[in-house]
Amino acid sequence: MKMTIEELKISNFELIQTLSQEKILANGSFIDISLPPRQIIQEFKTLSKTRRKLRNLGIYTIISLKNTYIQLNQESCLKIVNQYIHGIGWHDLQYICFLDIQKGNIYIHIIFNRITPQGKLIDIKCLGANWQQYEVLRQSCSRILENPANNKYLQIRCNCCS
């Protein structure tokens, strides 16, 4: 499996509207994901307004998992996302996550607000995934992929074994 992590600074949260039309809205933190996209965007803007002169309001992360040998479902992908976000220490940020699950490829789109609910700011100088982030992602994927419950091929039993 090939993994890539791309991190980009974004000046507004309009990308949420686009992603909500094209991808599966899967999860969020410090946000009610049942709200319409426009209200979600407004919630992100409200938090980022606590830092008035901020030009780059958020971070857009795209995680690509290509050539996966196991077809993962949405629940398994969310476990990977949650372990990854906690592993890199960004679990205290407001974020929203979208999934694009294809046969053999998974694309995870996460939009983070740079402002924490406590008013702290994430520095964009740290953008660009480092080896530690890749290691966290690798470990997160390994925990899910190596668990037989997540492998649909291992769940199929013949009639004589039931």
pLDDT tens readout for residues 87-111: 999 999 999 999 999 988 999 999 9
DSSP H or E run through 143: helix 131-145
pLDDT tens readout for residues 43-94: 999 999 888 888 899 999 999 999 887 778 899 899 999 999 999 999 999 9
3-class SS of residue 124: helix
Phi and psi, residue 52, nearest 5°: -60, -45
CA dihedral 67, 89, 150, 74 (to 10 degrees): -80
Q: Quick one: DSSP state of residue 117?
A: T
For residues 59 and 35, the answer to whether their CB atoms sit within 8 Å is no
pTM over 0.85: yes
pLDDT tens readout for residues 135-161: 999 998 888 877 645 444 333 322 333
3-class SS of residue 82: helix
What pLDDT band is residue 42 in, cutting at 50, 70 and 90? very high
Q: Quick one: DSSP state of residue 33?
A: T
